[in-house]
Amino acid sequence: MADAASRLAELAEELLGGPLPVRLRAWDGSEAGPAGAPVLVVRDRRALRRMIWKPGELGLVRAWVAGELDVEGDLYEVLDRVSGLLWERDGDSPGLFAAARDPRLRA
């Protein structure tokens, strides 16, 4: 079975419609994504729930304030790398609710 970061990276790439521009570190210590990129640390699975139920900035901010998300590296670089993908998603990308039903997310 794949580790949490690999599963998250795969789902994020499907949702964003392109390669992940940041590195992910999951609550189990696993990492995925480009080496040398800033790291988005997902400290708790609850962060995913917040981002699914309130997609966009609100979910991210709620997870950040709750201490479930963190950034290692330049915060502005992470926002710059991710924002372009969030705002430029194509119409064929699966939605967050489809991702929430994906069994890989629940594993």
Domains with residue ranges and CATH for the chain: 4-106 (3.30.1050)
What's the angle, vertex CA 18, arms to CA 5 and CA 29, rounded to 5?
10
Place of tokens 């039903």: 101
Residues 36-61 have pLDDT tens digits of 999 999 999 999 888 878 777 788 88
Cα dihedral sign for 21, 22, 25, 31? positive
- Indicate the pTM of the whole model: 0.75
pLDDT of 30 above 80:
yes
> By the 8 A CB rule, do 74 and 38 touch?
yes
d(CA 91, CA 89): 7
Range scoring the smallest mean pLDDT among 16-25, 39-48, 98-107: 98-107
- Record the tokens describing residue 14, joined without a space: 């499907």
